[in-house]
Amino acid sequence: MTDNISFNSDEFNSTPLSRVPCNKELAADIFVKIGDKFIKFKEKGDVISEEKYNYFISMNVKELYIAKSQIVLFEDSVETQKQEEINIVVAEVGEENRRIVELQADLKEAVYEVFLDEELSNETVNILKNQVEQFIAVVKDKNPSADIFAKISSMNNTIAEHSMNVANLSILFGMVTGQTHKIVLENLYMGALFHDYGKAKIPAAIMDKPKSVAYTKAITDHPLVGVEMLKKNPEISKQVLSIVAEHHEQFGGVGFPKGLTGDAIYNLSKIVAIANVFDNVCMENRNKATMYKTAIKVLEYDKGKQFDPQLLPRILDAVKLGYGNYQRERGGKAPAS
């Protein structure tokens, strides 16, 4: 067993947070680095809860540390767990959809890179774009039904993965409302992945005080803050920026930040807005058997107010079909940490 505290950086290898499993038994002792000190955070066999994992994300903790003596064991176990998770989902969605599930798992790692990067580099965005292009190509080819989207989204548990759920839902909603063009679907997916980029960059000190004036201002500003950060990157398209800017606008005109009305809102932004509300309700009701039914009710209630009444009927048909009877608990039970 490794000591609980060490100052010797030669003893450790760093590993990206996305490689460290959440809610699963750890195959190695996990250390955090504070200053020049490596402090044992979890023992081999322990579990990192969703709550702790989300805390790391909010604190921009990019890397955790593992003793060099345990790294091979750890890497082997991560690969085995990844394959096991893929196999579980493939068993539900069918072998013909294995590629979709594998690409979703790869995309998850690229999404973490993007969200935990302090400065968004062209290289990370290009890796993500490449993954999205491959994913959209397979989705267009296979044209999966709504329940497949429900099942692949069950792989996503943490805050960073909420954006993947919104992206998957947006593609489903886009396709059922007549969007078929490859580039449009890629922009839709990228816009959904980045919709809360500005929110993810709000400092934890502000997020921890939800009743403060600073918090309200940060939330109101996050769509346009996200655009300002993203537009510096030439790989991010104008369509993606519009989605980020408008994902909280509402059809009835009472959204933010601009209070746009009806068709003044870009069509892809309207789709992401619906997907975002749907997944937010699911996240709030996680681990309840009725979470999808509650989310469907919220969409029905808001027809014509928050959401475009032209788009909503076909989207509701799709989610009722795919998610309405889908009872799987997403993420399982989070053990106490």
Site for Fe ion in 110-129 (CB under 5 A): none
Taking the least distance from each CB to Fe ion, the nearer of 62 and 199 is 199
Looking only at the bridges linking them, the beta strands covering 37-42 and 12-16 are: unpaired
Taking the least distance from each CB to Fe ion, the nearer of 28 and 114 is 114
Query: Smallest distance from the beta carbon of 282 to Fe ion, in angstroms?
Result: 15
Look up residue 237 and give its DSSP letter: -
| Residue 196 makes contact with Fe ion by CB under 5 A | yes
Query: What are the tokens at 337?
Result: 């940490």
Query: Smallest distance from the beta carbon of 273 to Fe ion, in angstroms?
Result: 9
Residues, the chain: 337
Amino acid at position 125, single letter: V
What residue is closest to Fe ion based on CB? 196
- Site map for Fe ion, 153-192, x if CB under 5 A? ----------------------------------------
Could you give the CA distance from residue 285 to residue 292 in angstroms, rounded to a whole number? 9
In the chain, the DSSP E strands lie at: 5-6, 12-16, 30-34, 37-42, 63-67
**Contacts of 262 by beta carbon, 8 Å cutoff, 6+ apart:** 251, 253, 308
Could you give the CA distance from residue 259 to residue 245 in angstroms, rounded to a whole number? 11
Query: Smallest distance from the beta carbon of 191 to Fe ion, in angstroms?
Result: 12
Query: Smallest distance from the beta carbon of 248 to Fe ion, in angstroms?
Result: 6
Taking the least distance from each CB to Fe ion, the nearer of 103 and 268 is 268
Taking the least distance from each CB to Fe ion, the nearer of 207 and 321 is 207
Could you give the CA distance from residue 174 to residue 333 in angstroms, rounded to a whole number? 32
Query: Smallest distance from the beta carbon of 333 to Fe ion, in angstroms?
Result: 28
Binding site for Fe ion (CB under 5 A): 196
